[in-house]
Amino acid sequence: MQLTGAEIVIECLKEQGVDTVFGYPGGAILNVYDALYKHQDEIRHILTSHEQGAAHAADGYSRATGKVGVCFATSGPGATNLVTGIATAYMDSIPMVAITCNVGVALLGKDSFQEIDIAGITLPITKHNFIVKDVNKLADTIRKAFVIAKSGRPAPVLIDIPKDVTANKAEYTRQERTPSKKEEICCSQELEGALKLIKTSKKPYIFVGGGAVLSEASKELLEFVDKMDAPVTDSLMGKGAFPGTDERYTGMLGMHGTKTANFGVSECDLLVVIGARFSDRVTGNAKKFAKNAKILQIDIDAAEMNKNVLITQGIVGDIKTVLQQLNKILPQQEHREWMEKIRENKEKYPLRYNPETLTGPHIIEEIYRQTQGDALVVTEVGQHQMWAAQYYKYKEPRTYLTSGGLGTMGYGLGASLGAKVGRPEKTVVNIAGDGCFRMNMNEIATAVRHQIPIIQVVMNNHVLGMVRQWQDLFYEKRYSATILEDKVDFVKLAEAMGAVGIRVETKEEFAEAFKKALKLQEPVVLDCQIGCDDKVWPMVAPGADLSKTFDETDKREG
């Protein structure tokens, strides 16, 4: 049948099983929005307050559900406002399709009103992108975009469509979505090499990254850990792939990792790295990272092998498939002395904070207690992000959503909206600092407009907390441009946008306020007043060896 390009866009989204789109309309994309109007009972559109919020919402939807997130934007500034959200998704390997519309084909390259080369701009931060100048190629391009976004190492794909292409007509025939196939067999030589490393190890450690989440490998990972009889650490992106409640879990690795994990990885003789890319925030001094260990890396992306850290053995393949194959051939291992030492270190080096007053760690632990560990936690970037990673025990994958690679302030609120839309049965809590909340706080209006009951917790210390922490520790307390003392009232702001706002200053007040927020089932902003000099402990200085992890006691004593 003959359809306009705009109608083809909507039909192709329906083919792909898309039920929600996040976006903001404008002149160049009007035809698509007009076509969407006729299908609003099949595809829900969430009108965000800003295009950046739409990109982050599509990202959060994808992380929470495992589906491909979709966002719309018009030409020019509408399209460029997506860029930070696309880059955020790209750095964390999140499958997303961004559809932008541009000026007509005849106007391209002529500095037309609201024209921008969005394909050129996003080339370094997308897995692939397209500009579709022929309506006859539109349907196949959209289908291809979804396959590319989801297959292999996932990532965002952008499709730019000139306005006249959305108006032109072409023959459209519905196609059934083809499920993506995974490689079923790994290289036997690689598997045998891995098996040899594992069987000869006396002090193994397992490091889990976001690839284990993306490949849905939690079940296989748990079996692998059982067979390995090894302690487990993770990255920000790997949270929940292995349950944080398991006795073999030792906390996060890296700059704000636990002493147990950092010391253990520094001492182990084999580090099995599953779906992680050796970020500098994880390794510290890369030349000294796991200096006593052989390294076995399992990753779907061959480009990650030997990129940041030299490894002993690599297995390139889908994490789930590789672990299935390893589990078939791996005999039960036993490392009683090593596991006992790790247990002793966990007791010797617990996470600590001041129990006398309202602090970030206390807030996280109270949220954990009241949600019984079943919430979907989203964060912005900074101290609160680290506390949420340290003190909430993530039992399942896709329950901790954060900007790990790009470190995007302003990510969390939009992402929490997408997460709640994608998984409405979950309690969704966005944790923010006051600096991050200011970035995209206009999305509270989106939550109210669409009746999306998220809980926004603001750890309000009236400073840019993580930057101030570095200024305190490494810049002799020169607090340049990090003090946010002004008259902004987040409670009044929340109320002005139609949400519930509650200010809390004590532990007791927070417990009551959060309990109320859970019952209300509507957008709530909790303005939590905490100390401006509270710090995230432990810490590794930038570029230092992980074995040099220190905390407040170490700093005071030496």
Contact predicate 274/267, CB 8 Å: no
One-letter identity of residue 323: L
The count of other CB atoms within 10 Å of the CB of residue 496 is 12
What are the angstrom distances between the C-alpha of 15 and each of 133, 139, 168, 177?
22, 10, 21, 6
Exposed/middle/buried for residue 188 (C-beta within 10 Å: 0-12, 13-18, 19+): exposed
**What would the two tokens of residue 219 be?**
């079940």
Q: Which residues are catalytic?
A: 51, 113-114, 163, 466
The CA distance from 551 to 538, in Å, is 4
Secondary structure (H, E, C), 19-75: CEEEEECCHHHHHHHHHHHCCCCCCEEEECCCHHHHHHHHHHHHHHHCCCEEEEECC
**What would the two tokens of residue 505 be?**
């200053």
The CA distance from 540 to 151, in Å, is 36
**What would the two tokens of residue 171 be?**
């023959």
Beta-ladder partners of 100? 73, 160
The sign one gets for the Cα dihedral 241, 247, 250, 251 is positive
One-letter identity of residue 101: C
What are the angstrom distances between the C-alpha of 277 and each of 12, 91, 443, 549?
34, 11, 32, 21
Beta-ladder partners of 437? none
Question: Which pairs count as long-range contacts for 140-145, CB under 8 Å and 24+ apart, including other chains?
Answer: 142/8, 142/9, 142/12, 142/13, 142/16, 142/97, 143/12, 143/15, 143/16, 143/175, 145/97
